[in-house]
Amino acid sequence: MDENHHVILVTSQGRRHNDRCATARKRSKTTPPSWFKRRCRGPGALYNIGNLLALLSGVIVQIGGVWGQSNVSVAIRENLIGSPASVWLTGSMLIFLISGELYHRSWQRRGGPDPRLIQLGDLVSGIAAVALTVALVWLGDAAIALFAGLLLAGGKLGSAVLPTFDLPRQGLAERVFRSTVLASRVPSIIALAVTIVRGGDAPQEVILSAIIILCFFLWLWADLLLLWNGRVVLMDRNNSER
């Protein structure tokens, strides 16, 4: 009798343990991810981390360069809107932040990224790329700026416009546009690396170049996510995907 009772007790304890494990697994599947995890999901997070890092690092380096010599608020204003080039550069970063948010929201949909939001993000990002190109041409290195800017703007705007046309091998065309965006990062990374190797005109320039290279690699990672997961959806045929 004692042995049977012991067996029944052990069995019931084992069942309760299994039930608790199953309940915990079910809760882990049904509990929505935290705000931080949602914000870090998809290419939008990578784009905007890079965008904010690039925007803030320029301000911080500018403040460090004038610390003790000039007014900090004046330095911030000069960095953000002190010249036509600064205005274009700051404006492009703000527009890029909007496109990053669109990419982020596209990745929040259950069942996979939302192609419509990706398309809208591409359009906004293409507009930002045009503004960035103008800023970089104004700042100097016009040849590199035009080459990289046209590749970036062309790749983004091409990806945005592509769903309005029903073309053969449309998936291949999209990969070409996405790859063009990837290629646009290379000249800028090389130019920044050369600045670091040569030592730059000041330590701040070397530090800023290294930070911007990190931003470019974040943007490259986001570009790859779009290349791997993007889908062309015809605007006038909601159910037609390629």
* Same domain? 77 vs 113: yes
Contact criterion met (CB below 8 Å) for 172 and 122: no
* Same domain? 17 vs 111: no
Confirm whether 237 is domain-assigned: no
* Same domain? 74 vs 157: yes
Classify residue 171 as exposed, middle or buried by CB count within 10 Å of its CB (0-12, 13-18, 19+).
middle
Confirm whether 242 is domain-assigned: no
pLDDT at 117 over 80: yes
* Same domain? 123 vs 193: yes
- Say what the pLDDT of residue 70 is: 65
* Same domain? 69 vs 9: no
* Same domain? 16 vs 111: no
Q: What does pLDDT average to over the chain?
A: 78
35 against 114, higher pLDDT = 114
* Same domain? 199 vs 139: yes
Number of domains composing the chain: 2
Instruction: Give the structural domain span for 115.
Output: 36-229
Buried b (16+ CB within 10 A) or exposed e, 114-125: bbebbbbbbbbb
* Same domain? 16 vs 63: no
Confirm whether 240 is domain-assigned: no
Confirm whether 111 is domain-assigned: yes
- Say what the pLDDT of residue 87 is: 86
- Scan for tokens 């700051």, then name that residue: 90
Q: What is the pTM of this model?
A: 0.76
* Same domain? 78 vs 170: yes
